[in-house]
């Protein structure tokens, strides 16, 4: 059986339209974030900062960040997802989407003010969480922010994806590397995440250990 960490698994999902995580728009917490932020947490010379969107899927947030004044880079390794994004956001913004693997693509370390998370981390089994955290920490500038949506439910390998966090395990994962600045329940989740999703903002610390 194809595993959810394999490219073919996600290509098949997008090609067949089996995407229950797709919000088909911009969630309310992200809309509020984009309205209230004046500049990036560690402002670069361009606009409100540079943001990376891993596993961007249909790419709705690419357009939202760009229109709010951010320099956006997105990445997805499912060709079918990128094809959908091209249809959703148009050719100019589609140029900001990289076809590649978030874990191995040659991004410059410390080159982003933000990493935006939505339905990406929970798509992978728990053993990939430490590599995810380390990768995000390496790509963010010191003082940069990991923002977005996190799914809380005891992970079940038979039912996943999505794979949720058991309560407390996210603190163990992100502690020392990040300081939790905001944590609120999400009110407009899609059904697969309903009642178990939280909007969080976490700031990168100076910690460089494992």
* pLDDT value of position 46: 54
pLDDT-derived band at 92, boundaries 50, 70, 90: confident
- Just give the CATH number of 7-17+25-204: 3.40.50.150
Q: What is the pLDDT of residues 101-117, one digit of tens each?
A: 999 999 999 999 999 99
Backbone angles phi, psi at 88, to 5 degrees: -75, -35
50-54: strand order across its sheet = 97-99, 71-76, 50-54, 112-117, 140-151, 197-204, 178-185
Nearest Cα to 95, choosing from 75, 78, 81? 75
Backbone angles phi, psi at 67, to 5 degrees: -65, -25
Residues 17 and 24: their CA atoms lie apart, in Å, by 12
Average pLDDT, the chain: 85
Can you spell out the DSSP letters for 128-182? GHHHHHHHHHHHEEEEEEEEEEEEBS---TTTPSS-PBPTTHHHHHHTTTEEEEE
Strands (E), the chain: 50-54, 71-76, 97-99, 112-117, 140-151, 178-185, 197-204
* pLDDT value of position 43: 47
Better-predicted residue by pLDDT, 92 or 114: 114
Nearest Cα to 108, choosing from 50, 46, 45, 42? 50
Q: Where are the domains of the chain?
A: 7-17+25-204
pLDDT-derived band at 95, boundaries 50, 70, 90: confident
Specify which residues 149 forms β-bridges with: 199
Q: What is the pLDDT of residues 152-208, one digit of tens each?
A: 987 666 666 888 998 889 999 999 999 999 999 999 998 888 899 999 999 999 988
* pLDDT value of position 146: 98
| Verdict on whether the full-model pTM lies above 0.85 | yes
């Amino acid at each position: 059986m194809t595993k959810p960490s394999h490219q073919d698994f996600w290509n098949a999902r997008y090609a067949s339209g089996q995407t229950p995580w797709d919000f088909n728009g911009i969630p309310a917490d992200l809309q509020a974030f984009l309205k209230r932020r004046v500049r990036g947490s560690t402002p670069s010379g361009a606009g409100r900062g540079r943001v990376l969107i891993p596993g961007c899927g249909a790419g709705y947030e690419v357009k939202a960040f760009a229109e709010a004044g951010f320099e956006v880079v997105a990445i997805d390794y499912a060709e079918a997802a990128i094809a959908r994004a091209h249809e959703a956001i148009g050719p100019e913004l589609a140029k900001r989407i990289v076809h590649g693997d978030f874990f191995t693509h040659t991004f410059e370390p410390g080159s982003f003010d933000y990493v935006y998370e939505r339905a990406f981390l929970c798509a992978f089994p728990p053993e990939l969480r430490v590599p995810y955290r380390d990768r995000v920490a390496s790509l963010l500038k010191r003082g940069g922010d990991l923002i977005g949506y996190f799914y809380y439910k005891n992970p079940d390998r038979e039912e996943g994806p999505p794979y949720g966090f058991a309560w407390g395990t996210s603190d163990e994962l992100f502690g020392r590397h990040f300081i939790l600045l905001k944590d609120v329940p999400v009110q407009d989740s899609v059904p697969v995440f309903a009642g178990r999703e939280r909007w969080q903002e976490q700031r990168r610390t100076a910690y460089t250990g494992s």
